[in-house]
Amino acid sequence: MTFKSLCILPAWLLLCLAAPALAGDVQVAVAANFTAPMKVIAADFEKNTGHKAVLSFGATGKFYAQISNGAPFEVFLSADDETPKKLEQNGTGVKGSRFTYATGRLALWSAQPGVVDAQGEVLKKGQFSKLAIAAPKLAPYGAAAVETMTRLGVMAALERKLVTGESTGQAFSFVSTGNAELGFVALSQVVQGGKLTSGSAWIVPETLHSPIRQDAVLLAKGKDSPAAIALVAFLKTDKARAVIRSFGYQP
């Protein structure tokens, strides 16, 4: 049975087709900002279907280059909606399989309480030496951070203080290890169950940057894989959507 015929079936039937007796592995490329929720979803996926999602986390731009050059990924969860579209257009992604699995939120975060105020005024005061962001050309959250600072009129003043990582994962690491006092990260990295896990944060208003729509796509290498097809279906289930919502995304 091909992806084209399977895609018209309801999600529950797809999951039944992916029974433990036919269990397999699926290689998944996941945008770094989605690390925490995807680990939870992968565990639920294995428990419910018997299939195992083998996860790799990194920058969207870097994954695009790897996938375009033949990397053995079967499903891609991007941090934007443009990259999966390009993969569909160049034949690396399966046409018709792309969908938005989450809409992300940007946060300015410090590992220390009291550093970041609830209105983000700390950016205008500039009383810090280093501000971490993800590389704008590789990571949509980095691009959103630059767009936010530009709209606030602080980009020129803060540019010399920027510490850039290739992904939101690295930006988060810079802040959590104290190599930067604060940084722009994905809200999902610092919030769980609707509560801030540590430090202090400002949730950036969505009016300050373009929407961060995150699309997933079934890749050509996974079009005949029951495990890959089952994972795409599982991401659309109420169970997965509840996890996504608990980390501050809109599913």
pLDDT for the residue 193: 79
pLDDT for the residue 192: 79
Measure the CA–CA gap between 232 and 216, rounded to whole angstroms: 8
pLDDT for the residue 15: 52
Q: What residues does each domain of the chain span?
A: 3-103+213-246, 106-203
pLDDT for the residue 6: 46
User: CATH assignment of 106-203, given 3.40.190.10, 3.40.50.720, 3.50.50.60, 3.40.50.620?
Assistant: 3.40.190.10
Q: Which of 221, 178, 6 is nearest to 92 (CA)?
A: 221
Per-10-residue mean pLDDT of the chain, 251 residues long, equals 51 49 88 94 97 96 95 97 96 96 96 96 96 93 96 97 94 96 94 88 95 97 97 98 91 78
Q: Which two tokens stand for residue 137?
A: 């050309």
HEC assignment per residue over 78-133: CCCCHHHHHHHHCCCECCCCCEEEEEECEEEEECCCCCCCCCCCHHHHCCCCCEEE
Asked whether the beta carbons of 32 and 142 are under 8 A apart, the reply is no
User: CATH assignment of 3-103+213-246, given 3.10.150.10, 3.40.50.300, 3.40.190.10, 3.90.930.12?
Assistant: 3.40.190.10
Same topology, domains 3-103+213-246 and 106-203? Answer is yes
Phi-psi region of 110 (alpha: psi -120 to 50; beta: other; left: phi over 0): beta
Q: What is the pTM of this model?
A: 0.78
Calculated CA dihedral for residues 105, 109, 115, 117, nearest 10 degrees: 0
pLDDT for the residue 18: 44
